[in-house]
Amino acid sequence: MSPTYTIKKEKMQQFVETIEDEYDVYGPVPRRTTHVFDKLDDPSLLDLDYDSTIMSPKKFFLPAEQNMLLFDNESGTVKDTIDRIEQMKPRLLLGIHSCDINGMLFLDRVFGGKYEDPYYQAYRENTTVIGLNCIEPCENGFCRSVNKNFVLEGYDLFLTEISDSHYYVHVGSPKGDRLLSLASEFFTRATPEDDAAFKQALKRKHESLPVDLHIDHIHESLDMAWDSPLWEELGEECMNCGSCALVCPTCYCFDVRDELDLSLQNGERKRKWDTCLYYDFALVAGNHNFREEPPVRNKYRIYHKMRGAIHEQGMIACIGCGRCISACPAGISIKDILNQLQNQWASSPTAMEG
Ligand code: SF4
Ligand code: SF4
Looking at ligand 2, which residue's alpha carbon is closest to its atom 4?
241
Instruction: Tell me the mean pLDDT in the region 2-6.
Output: 94
pLDDT score, position 29: 98
Q: Residue 269 pLDDT > 80, yes or no?
A: yes
CA distance 4 to 192: 11
Q: Residue 150 pLDDT > 70, yes or no?
A: yes
Residue 113: pLDDT band with limits 50, 70, 90 = confident
Domain range list for the chain: 5-208, 218-353
Express each pLDDT in 298-326 by its tens digit: 999 999 999 999 999 999 999 999 999 99
Which residues are near ligand 1 (CB < 6 Å)? 247-250, 305, 318-324, 334
Instruction: Tell me the mean pLDDT in the region 275-289.
Output: 95
Inter-helix orientation angle 294-303/334-346, to 10°: 80
Q: Return the closest-CA partner of residue 67 out of 57, 78, 77.
A: 78
CA distance 332 to 236: 11
Ligand 2 centre distance from Cα of residue 274 (Å) = 14
**pTM for the predicted model, two decimal places:** 0.95
CA distance 252 to 230: 25
CA distance 50 to 255: 32
CA distance 143 to 212: 10
| Closest atom, ligand 1, to C-alpha of 327 | 7
Express each pLDDT in 174-204 by its tens digit: 999 999 999 999 999 999 999 999 999 999 9
Q: Return the closest-CA partner of residue 321 out of 228, 248, 240, 270.
A: 248
CA quadruple 158, 160, 161, 165: dihedral sign:
negative
Which residues are near ligand 2 (CB < 6 Å)? 238-244, 277, 327-330, 332
Q: Which tops the pLDDT comparison, 14 or 263? A: 14
Q: Return the closest-CA partner of residue 252 out of 87, 77, 90, 57.
A: 57
Ligand 1 centre distance from Cα of residue 71 (Å) = 37
Residue 215: pLDDT band with limits 50, 70, 90 = confident
Gyration radius of the chain's alpha carbons: 22
Nearest ligand to the CA atom of 334: 1
Residue 2: pLDDT band with limits 50, 70, 90 = confident
Residue 268: pLDDT band with limits 50, 70, 90 = very high
Strand bridging mode 157-161 / 127-132: parallel
Determine contact, residues 201/235, Cβ cutoff 8 Å.
no
pLDDT score, position 349: 56
Determine contact, residues 41/52, Cβ cutoff 8 Å.
no
Mean pLDDT of the chain: 94
